[in-house]
Structure 1
Amino acid sequence: MTIAPIILHQPRRLAVGAGTVAEVGNWAGDARSVLVIATPITAGFADRLKPPGRVTVFDAIPGEPDTKTLDAALEAARRSEPDLIVGLGGGSVLDVAKLVAALWDSQQTLADVAGPNRVAGRRTRLAQVATTAGTGSEAGIRSLITDPGKGNKIAVESPHMIADLAVLDPELTYSVPPAVTAATGVDAMAHCVEAFTNRRAHPMIDGFARMGFQLVGKYLARAVRDGSDTEAREGLMLGSYYGGICLGPVNTAAGHAIAYPLGTRLGLPHGLANAIIFPHVLAFNQPAAAGKTAEVAHALGLGQDLSSTELVEAAHDFCRGLGIEMSLTAHGAKKDDLPLYASEAHANRRLMDNNPIDMNVDDVLGIYRAAL
Structure 2
Amino acid sequence: MADLLPPISIVRPPVIEIGAGSLAKVGSFAAARGGTTLVVADAFNAGRVDRLGLAGPVVVFGTVKPEPDIPNLEQLVALADRVRPSVVIGFGGGSAMDLAKLAVVLTGSGLDVRGIAGVGKAPERSAALVQVPTTAGTGSEAGIRALVTDPATRNKVAVESRSMLADLAVLDPELTFSVPPAVTAATGVDALAHCVEAFTSRRAHPLIDVYALEGIRLVGRFLKRAVTDGDDVAARTGLAVASLYGGFCLGPVNTTAGHAVSYPLGTRHGIPHGLANALIFPHVLAFNAPAVPEKTALVLEALGVPDGKSVFDGAYRFCERLGIDMRLSAAGVPADDLDAMAAEAHAIRRLLDFNPRDIGKDEIRALYQAAY
If the length of structure 2 is used for normalisation, what is the TM-score?
Answer: 0.97
Which of 114-123 and 318-327 deviates more? 114-123
Equivalent AA in structure 2 for residue 57 of structure 1: V
Taking the aligned partners of 1:66 and 1:260, their CA distance within structure 2 comes to 13
Q: Equivalent residue of 2:47, what SS?
A: helix
Question: Does 1:10 find its partner at 2:12?
Answer: yes
In the TM superposition, residue 305 of structure 1 has moved relative to its aligned partner by: 5.2
| 1:294–1:305 Cα contact (<8 Å) kept | no
Match of 1:360 in 2: 360
Match of 1:350 in 2: 350
1:194-245 superposed Cα distances (whole Å, 9 cap, x missing partner):
0000000000000110111111000000000000100000100000000001
1:261-299 superposed Cα distances (whole Å, 9 cap, x missing partner):
000111100000000000011011111111111111011
Match of 1:125 in 2: 128
Question: Does 1:300 find its partner at 2:284?
Answer: no
Distance 1:317 1:262, change over 3 A: same
Match of 2:156 in 1: 153
| Candidates 186, 199, 211, aligned match of 2:214 | 211
Taking the aligned partners of 2:213 and 2:138, their CA distance within structure 1 comes to 16
| 1:123–1:160 Cα contact (<8 Å) kept | no
In the TM superposition, residue 179 of structure 1 has moved relative to its aligned partner by: 0.1
Q: How does 1:227-306 map to 2 (within 5 A)?
A: 227-304=230-307, 306=309
Runs (4+) off by over 6 Å? none
Q: Equivalent residue of 1:219, what SS?
A: helix
In the TM superposition, residue 304 of structure 1 has moved relative to its aligned partner by: 2.9
Match of 1:325 in 2: 325
Taking the aligned partners of 2:7 and 2:33, their CA distance within structure 1 comes to 39
Taking the aligned partners of 1:334 and 1:174, their CA distance within structure 2 comes to 34
| 2:125–2:164 Cα contact (<8 Å) kept | no
| 1:192–1:243 Cα contact (<8 Å) kept | yes
In the TM superposition, residue 335 of structure 1 has moved relative to its aligned partner by: 2.3
Equivalent AA in structure 1 for residue 7 of structure 2: P
| 2:33–2:87 Cα contact (<8 Å) kept | no
Q: Equivalent residue of 1:56, what SS?
A: strand
Match of 2:54 in 1: 51
Taking the aligned partners of 2:116 and 2:333, their CA distance within structure 1 comes to 33
Taking the aligned partners of 1:18 and 1:236, their CA distance within structure 2 comes to 13
Equivalent AA in structure 2 for residue 55 of structure 1: V
Question: Does 1:69 find its partner at 2:47?
Answer: no
Match of 1:60 in 2: 63
In the TM superposition, residue 121 of structure 1 has moved relative to its aligned partner by: 2.5
Match of 1:97 in 2: 100
Taking the aligned partners of 1:122 and 1:160, their CA distance within structure 2 comes to 6
Taking only aligned residues, the RMSD between alpha carbons, in angstroms, comes to 1.0
Equivalent AA in structure 1 for residue 178 of structure 2: S
Taking the aligned partners of 2:364 and 2:322, their CA distance within structure 1 comes to 25
Taking the aligned partners of 1:116 and 1:185, their CA distance within structure 2 comes to 28
Q: Equivalent residue of 1:52, what SS?
A: coil
Q: How does 1:155-234 map to 2 (within 5 A)?
A: 155-234=158-237
If the length of structure 1 is used for normalisation, what is the TM-score?
Answer: 0.97
Taking the aligned partners of 1:20 and 1:72, their CA distance within structure 2 comes to 30
1:63-97 superposed Cα distances (whole Å, 9 cap, x missing partner):
00000100000111112110000000000000000
Taking the aligned partners of 1:201 and 1:37, their CA distance within structure 2 comes to 33
Please, which runs of 5 or more residues in structure 2 have no aligned partner?
none
Taking the aligned partners of 2:267 and 2:160, their CA distance within structure 1 comes to 20
Please, which runs of 5 or more residues in structure 1 have no aligned partner?
none
Which of 16-25 and 270-279 deviates more? 16-25
| 1:17–1:234 Cα contact (<8 Å) kept | yes
Q: Equivalent residue of 1:339, what SS?
A: helix
| 1:194–1:252 Cα contact (<8 Å) kept | yes
Equivalent AA in structure 2 for residue 234 of structure 1: T
Taking the aligned partners of 2:202 and 2:329, their CA distance within structure 1 comes to 32
Equivalent AA in structure 1 for residue 358 of structure 2: D
Match of 2:369 in 1: 369
| 1:255–1:274 Cα contact (<8 Å) kept | yes
| 1:67–1:148 Cα contact (<8 Å) kept | yes
| 1:32–1:52 Cα contact (<8 Å) kept | no
Q: Equivalent residue of 2:23, what SS?
A: helix
Taking the aligned partners of 1:337 and 1:157, their CA distance within structure 2 comes to 30
Taking the aligned partners of 1:103 and 1:30, their CA distance within structure 2 comes to 20
| 1:88–1:131 Cα contact (<8 Å) kept | yes
- Fraction of identical pairs, as percent: 54
